[in-house]
Structure 1
Amino acid sequence: MTLTLTVSDEVRALAPGFTHVVIEAYDLVNGPSTEASSALLDDAARRLAARLEGRAPHEDPHMVAWREMYTAFGSKPSRTRNSAEALAKRALADGGLPRINLLVDLYNAISVAHLIPVGGEDIDRIQGGMRLVRATGEEDFVTVAGGEEVVEHPDAGEVVWRDEAGVTCRRWNWRQGPRTRLTEETVTGVFLLETLAPMPVPEAEAAGTELAELLEKFSPGARIEVHAPATAGASA
């Protein structure tokens, strides 16, 4: 693995059932959303509806586990939903899923279809390795509010992804910062599929394989590396 990802001991202790599949991708082709990526999002919404069988997204056992985890590190899960639940809620609403750009559409489709939080970061914009840690509250999280760049700080004890420059995603997988997000100019990306028990590891692996195949399809010639699920007790 070219990029180093580490899960801290504090997070391992908090979430012994946490696993993540990591996909590194190089020589990607990104751009505006296409009819094909839009169709994938529509299909993901149909797959989600079939999976839920009339339940609300937050009633799914995997989403229940994430809500319990958010509560465990001090966040209110009904107000700050994990990324998969938030997307699922939008997928089932009248407006449907947003179209962002080609690469984001691909991983959002996988997230919704499998009800797994999936994140994508531009490797070229990451400074040093990525670490999943419990915040001290002093870290910088640069975001945009009202069209202006602002600096926030996570709550003490909050689980965040960070690199050497600061926090890249708050509340584990709630809100990504703009600094490392995938843009239409992105050519290298790392994708993280994050799961908690009771989701079976083979399901996370299947979702990772599906995303890797989509990346290969939409970026012919790209180099894709899929790393097997890593438990919270090991570095990836």
Structure 2
Amino acid sequence: MHFDHAPAIWSQYPELTAGVLFVEGIHAQASVDGAVAQFNAIAQARLEGVLSEGELPEIQAWRRAFQRMGLKPTQYRCASESLLRRFRKEGALPSIHPLIDLCNAASIAFAVPVAVLDASKVAWPLQVRHAGGTETYLAFSGETEHPEPGEVGFVDAQGNAHARRWTHRQSGLSAVREDTACVLIVAEAMHAGAAADVRKLLDALAQAIGQAWGVAPRVALLTAQAPRFALQP
């Protein structure tokens, strides 16, 4: 079992920083209200300093990446931008599951996309790579989609696409549910200073997860020179 980014991804996006956490012992009864409130306060303070979330350097970097992928960045937004837009308009994010609530709050605090996958729903290994045209994606609506050839996504050994358009939208197949116990969390950034910021994000999440679930996540920062994260449940 392992997770990595294909060499072509590192080659085409050398500014990429990727961080991962692997966590066992997750359940839906944990309380994360304190940590979520702290992250929300950070996000609120950052939004008060700009006209819109699109001005944040973390979001601008992902918009440039989406343009390089041939996507309109205001039509297909990275997950952190979408969450920040909702947070700015509504003043809060909906509660889904304690771990999702925590990771969404961390995502808006750092303006960095954070993917959370139920490890039991992935046919390992899992890789961020370009689609070949045969992959399948299960939408939250229950409909099956097929990513276009060349589209970047999280793809497993059985050709399941666990995300579309890279950091735009995750799959319902590996979404965290009430019975989820083991997860892979991936944070990816492209902006200047991304390595330091992603490390801070990982540390903050690891601390909050430890406090809420009493478990110690395995944490790693991936690079082109050390791109693989091996999982041993």
Q: State TM-score, norm by structure 2.
A: 0.90
How is 1:222-233 mapped onto 2 (pairs within 5 angstroms)?
Answer: 222-227=215-220, 229-233=221-225
Could you say what secondary structure the match of 1:93 adopts?
helix
1:109 CA displacement? 1.0
Counterpart CA distance in 2 for 1:5 and 1:94 is 35
Q: CA RMSD in A?
A: 1.7
Cα pair 2:17 2:194 within 8 Å, conserved: no
Counterpart AA for 1:134? H
Pairing 1:235–2:227 present: yes
Show structure 1 runs of 5+ residues with no match.
Answer: none
- Which of the residues 180, 192, 200 maps onto 1:186? 180
How is 1:194-205 mapped onto 2 (pairs within 5 angstroms)?
Answer: 194-205=188-199
Counterpart AA for 2:208? L
Show structure 2 runs of 5+ residues with no match.
Answer: 229-233
Counterpart CA distance in 1 for 2:102 and 2:81 is 17
Aligned to 2:129: 133
Identity of aligned residues (%): 25
Could you say what secondary structure the match of 2:90 adopts?
coil
1:73 CA displacement? 1.1
Cα pair 1:27 1:223 within 8 Å, conserved: no
Could you say what secondary structure the match of 2:20 adopts?
strand
Aligned to 2:45: 50
Cα pair 1:28 1:219 within 8 Å, conserved: yes
Deviations 1:116-161 (A, max 9, x none): 111111111111111000112321111133xxx2210112221101
Cα pair 1:142 1:177 within 8 Å, conserved: yes
Counterpart CA distance in 1 for 2:131 and 2:225 is 19
Aligned to 1:162: 155
Pairing 1:86–2:95 present: no
Instruction: Report runs of 4+ in structure 1 exceeding 4 Å deviation.
Output: none
Deviations 1:69-95 (A, max 9, x none): 011112221011100000111111125
Q: From the superposition, tell whether residues 6 and 79 of structure 1 become closer, same or farther in structure 2 (CA, over 3 Å).
A: same
Counterpart CA distance in 2 for 1:46 and 1:113 is 8
Cα pair 1:101 1:183 within 8 Å, conserved: yes
1:207 CA displacement? 0.8
Give the total of aligned pairs: 226
Q: State TM-score, norm by structure 1.
A: 0.89
